[in-house]
A and B are shown apart, each in its own frame.
Chain A
Amino acid sequence: MAKGYRQAPGKSGDKKRTDGKRVAGQQDFGVPGSGGSNPHSNLQDLDYVPESVGGWKKQPRGPHVHDRHITGMTIGKSVPLVDSNWKVTGQAEYGDDIRLQGELIGKILRSPHHYAKIRSIDVSAAEAMEGVFAVATGQDSVNKFGVLPVTKDEHAMAQDKVRHVGDLVACVCAIDEATAIEAMNAIIVDYEVLPSIHDMEDGLKDSEHPIHDRGKYHIGESNVQKRVFQQFGDLDGMKSAPFVHESDWETAGLHHGFTEPHAVVAHWDPAGRLTVWTPQQVPHYLHRGLSAVLDIPMHQINVHRTFVGGGFGGKSDPFPHEMCAAILARKSGRPVRINFDREEVYWINRGRHPSRIQMGVFADDEGRIAGIETDALIDGGAFASFGHVTTYYNGVLHTAPYEIGAFNYTGARVWTNKPASGAMRGHGAVNSRCAVEVGIDAVSEQMNVDPMTFRLANLLPPHSRTITGFRVTSTGMRECLAKVREQSGWDEKFRNLPLGKGIGVGCGFFISGSGLPIHWDPENFPHATVHLQCDMDGGVTVHTGAADIGQGSDTAVAQAVSEVLALPLDMIRIRSKESDTAPVDLGSYSSRVTFMNCNAAIKAACELRDKVMKAAWEITGYNPDVLVLGDRRIYYKHDPAVGVSWLEAVHKAQADVGSLIASGAYRTPPMGGVHKGAAAGLAPAYSFSAYVAEVDVDVETGFVKITKAWAAHDCGKALNPLAVKGQIIGSCHMGMGQVLSEEMKYGRDGHLMNPDLLDYKIMSVHEMPDVVPIIVESNDPEGPFGAKEAGEGPLLPILPAVCNAIYDAIGIRINELPVTPDRLHKRIEKHCRKIKVDDPLDLPVPRFEPGPLQQVLVERAEAHAKRDHLRDIQEDRSSYVNGVLFGFDPDKPMAEQKEGWREAVVPTPQDLADPSKRAARAWGHVERRHRGDE
């Protein structure tokens, strides 16, 4: 019987061939018989197919390479997360829901001291207890680990010293929790208390007992873990700029506040392999960490990611308790489950760094940003974690979205005796971005220009390079600003609201995946790999290691595959949980997953599609060039009634090979500069956002309420608008918490005072204002179907938008976060005294009178808008580097064009001359290996 079939009214069955010859489109096809209930497929949904490939979807920014893979199936449509039914029925298994036969309960003994030497540990009483199966201490695991290979400074349990209250000392496992706690309390530890460090500035000094010892790489005898210096551009020009705003910021440490406390289950199977179930954002680094700590090869370990009850960066380190569970399970021969109580979650921390940031924003008399000068000292707590990168991000992520004349950054991260800081949503960029944006607001005010206009007149265009060499591809910054300006009614409200009511704007810029993987051995290893498998049933199983932490990465990858293969989502199955079955993916950090994993998935899906199309060619006689993939059907372009069902083509393709498999991988293109640290902040694409926030400030109490926010985020392309909006609103929630109420409070003696959700104030539904999420699509040339990140970038702008709105409301510049009522009240009192106003209700409110520059900038913004539009839609783009606005030729090295142009990553003594700069002091030490080098 002939294969394929014809679906056309009245036409079926009249032309029967009897000579067995195949004529394209002419033969009568048999019934595919795949079962089911719907009569027809929808072929292609042309509303979602781009104009460039014959659909109806408008593309204001020109075509994209992935356009021809778009079938109109799921991309751009709001679909529920593919795992949502598990979540809403309570069947999603999180860390603490894994229950194995014969499990033991593990408990961790933690340090009561900030900093102490361990003289001895006596575990005999604990071991002797009935129902106790194993006790482990630092002796049981001497190998170091850490998320970054360059800064491994953690152990499963303390070796000789404990470094913060809550540091792990020993662990036990027992038949039940009560016995385990009992045994834990029976462990006797003899400590010798050492002088502890709590203030980050003390960390800059030499210390008798540095918290860690980095051997010859140690920076002096200090507690400086990392220092960064970057100086680019025309610094003299910057210093002589007429408009300057300098501020000194203090921002509190933050915790991610995810709802699921950490939990882990470890089990060694009878064949000697270890399986670890854990809610991890980055299972692969844990895999490496376990291998190093337990001294077993990676192939002997299966890391099983459970559902993750929120991560936000807080579950992305390999954690010591995960090692402890494995060690206890090994010792006891039984599965071990450890689950944290809320307090322990704060001890392990890895939240946002407490920081002190000195920020200078300079503008010249033509209304250009002559330079940004930042000195950021950040408090890393007791371990390195991601801190190496955080130290860079506090500076290097200022170099866009604006064109700047100079960039001068000194940054340092110090160890202190606090729970370790690490990566948290908006990693490293949040605090300093807030300072930059507030600075920009302030210089606009000095210049008498509208801060919106000032921003619009200073944006880097699409397809350009920043001052430090980051490659910016797409940018929707301009559109973001335009949209929030219009929707918020900015022009009527700005500087026109009465005392106590204010409106403010802020922008953001964030990486969409980091350019270099953390582990780059072997060098050319891809960042993400996806395997597809399609068997007799026609459904496609996706194997990926990308960790869905609630952001919906499983859904995104399913959508990508479903789109290319034109299959409905319910035919795509995601297997992303186990390292045994998933190819390596570097994990959910740096906002990399959608970008990298979906790119890998598109590649794999294209490979699978080609196999199926080839089979369809063999059946129908039409070349794949004229075949179209529609919903579960492959048909002739010029007569959709002629075609072959997906299943039939799949079966044909499976002849001889069986199950169809395909693999795709993604690696970032080569990019960026060559200076030391050039890779930090390098990303294949960047997201942009602009928010406007409105606030009510009670001038008598200092209480701030955010009343509404308009949040425009350029995510390249919203693969799933529902999820993107969820990310935008969720980011706002977290950012608003940071700006108004969240902080890890340390008492006078350095003790954490609020390790619980009662005193660590996360916004409840009543504080949360209405957020209008606005999606801007800049169609990134390299993103999957044009997409960029939407998970972290949207957090950045809300902080400065609120701070600027507070200024608009009461005329006080914020430089301390969070803006709690007590802090603001003090500021208001001080301000009143300063300007001699008795009653805060009589405070003058800032007003706006456009100066001569306003019109100049309006015109420049308009001209730039045209320039940007052309660069967007034209294939051929002239080169553009930061500096063109200042009259430089983009094709020649800057240093040749300007005397005194600097590109330096090591400071000279003059650079460090200013004693008021904090982080700069870190450069006062000589690395041990260079001692005596003079």
Chain B
Amino acid sequence: MLPSAGKETWNASVNEEQHEHLVESNAILLDVLRDQVGTLGVKRGCDMGTCGCCAVLIDGEPRLSCLCLAKEAQGTQIVTVEGLADGHHLHPIQQCFAEAGGSQCGFCTPGFLIVSAALLDENPEPSRDEIKCAIEGNLCRCTGYQQIVDAVEMAASMKRNGAIPPNPTDPKSDPHPLGPDDPSLPPGSSK
């Protein structure tokens, strides 16, 4: 048996929450995030930097957590896909991925969201080519990327306009709260 690596305390802020764990000195950040911090939204697709599913923001920079020692991220601010939304208000990029079809099976989505959120922070009006360059390290097998690029474009304009995605916890529409005194005829009618 290989002598196992010694354990050390690891701390970092993950999605604005301080975490402290005892991890092996050679632990990979992806493993720590998934198995110890519990942010299972960070996906493992390949373990060797080829798929981009495991991307997280480390101090605002998109990084592949499978290629990063936990130690390197010691004391940093980490943001995972779970940290993008503001409470129940989705981040514009999340909203647009859903609306534009940027997510089919969704396994690659956390990685794409992270790199495109980082792009939008830096460049509020990216061209399609700039978007492509930002997501070039991420593989998606389902969408053929086109709707992902659409989604990022859409999110950029949403962000520029300061639009806030709806809060899904608001009451869902219900058309019939009113009674006989309702003043107007509902639109649409059959022949």
Contact = CB atoms under 8 A, between A and B. Distances in A.
Interface of A: 5-9, 12-13, 28-46, 54, 80-81, 83-94, 96-97, 99, 178, 182, 256-261, 307-312, 339, 341-342, 549-552, 568, 570-571, 628, 630-633, 637-638, 640-641, 645-647, 722-723, 725-726, 729-734, 756-758, 762, 764-766, 768, 770-771
Given A6-B180, A726-B101, A36 B94 contact: no
A36 B99 CA distance: 24
29 contacts: A7-B182, A31-B180, A36-B172, A40-B175, A42-B187, A43-B188, A43-B190, A44-B188, A81-B101, A88-B81, A90-B39, A99-B40, A257-B139, A260-B43, A260-B45, A308-B105, A309-B105, A309-B108, A342-B48, A550-B142, A571-B172, A630-B188, A631-B175, A633-B186, A732-B144, A734-B141, A757-B48, A757-B50, A764-B136
Contact of A307 (B101, B105, B182, B184): B105
A739 to B, nearest CB: 14
B10 interface: no
Contacts of A7: 178, 180, 182, 185-186
Given A46-B188, A762-B139, A259 B51 contact: yes
A638 B189 CA distance: 9
Contacts of A632: 174-176
Interface in B79-138: 80-82, 84-85, 90, 94-95, 97-101, 103-110, 113, 132, 135-136, 138
Contact of A8 (B42, B95, B185): B185
Contacts of B145: 733, 765, 768
Given A7-B180, A33-B177, A37-B173, 4 more contacts: A13-B181, A45-B188, A89-B81, A758-B50
Nearest to A728: B144
Contact of B139 (A40, A41, A757): A757
Interface centre among B100, B106, B172, B189 (most CB of A within 10 A): B106
Interface of B: 1, 4, 39-48, 50-51, 53, 80-82, 84-85, 90, 94-95, 97-101, 103-110, 113, 132, 135-136, 138-149, 168, 171-191
A80 B106 CA distance: 12
Nearest to B100: A722
Given A13-B181, A43-B187, A37 B174 contact: yes
B149 to A, nearest CB: 7
Nearest to B147: A726
A391 to B, nearest CB: 26
Given A5-B180, A90-B42, A645-B176, A768 B146 contact: yes
Given A90-B80, A730-B142, A757-B46, A550 B136 contact: no
Contacts of B99: 80
Contacts of A311: 105
B105 to A, nearest CB: 3
A646 B174 CA distance: 11
A633 B176 CA distance: 8
Q: Give the 5 A-B CB pairs with smallest separation, nearest first.
A: A90-B41, A36-B174, A550-B105, A87-B106, A309-B107
Contact of B82 (A90, A723, A770): A90
Contacts of B97: 84, 87-88
Contact of B146 (A5, A80, A729): A729
B144 A771 contact: yes
Given A54-B190, A307-B106, A88 B113 contact: yes
Given A729-B147, A756-B48, A771-B146, A81 B98 contact: yes
A855 to B, nearest CB: 39
Contacts of A89: 41, 81-82, 84-85, 90, 94
Contacts of A734: 141, 144
A12 B94 contact: no
Nearest to A8: B185
A722 B103 CA distance: 11
Contacts of B139: 257, 259, 757, 762, 764
Nearest to A86: B106
B175 A259 contact: no
B103 A28 contact: no
Contacts of A34: 174, 176-177
B104 A38 contact: no
B30 to A, nearest CB: 12
Nearest to A770: B146
Contacts of A31: 178-180
Contacts of B175: 36, 38-42, 631-633
Contacts of A86: 106
